[in-house]
Amino acid sequence: MPSDGSSARVVKRSLMVSGHRTSVSLEDAFWRRLSLLAAEQGLSVNRLAAAVDALRGEANLSSALRVYVLEATASKTTVA
- Smallest Cα–Cα separation from 31: which of 77, 75, 68? 68
Please spell the DSSP secondary structure of 9-65, one letter per residue: -EEEEEEEETTEEEEEEEEHHHHHHHHHHHHHTT--HHHHHHHHHHH-TTS-HHHHH
pLDDT tens by residue, the chain, 80 residues? 455 677 789 999 999 998 999 999 999 999 999 999 999 999 999 999 999 999 998 989 999 999 999 999 888 754 55
Determine the pLDDT at residue 10.
95
CATH superfamily of 9-76: protein bp1543 (1.10.3990.20)
Rounded distance between C-alpha atoms, residue 70 and residue 68, angstroms = 6
Determine the pLDDT at residue 2.
55
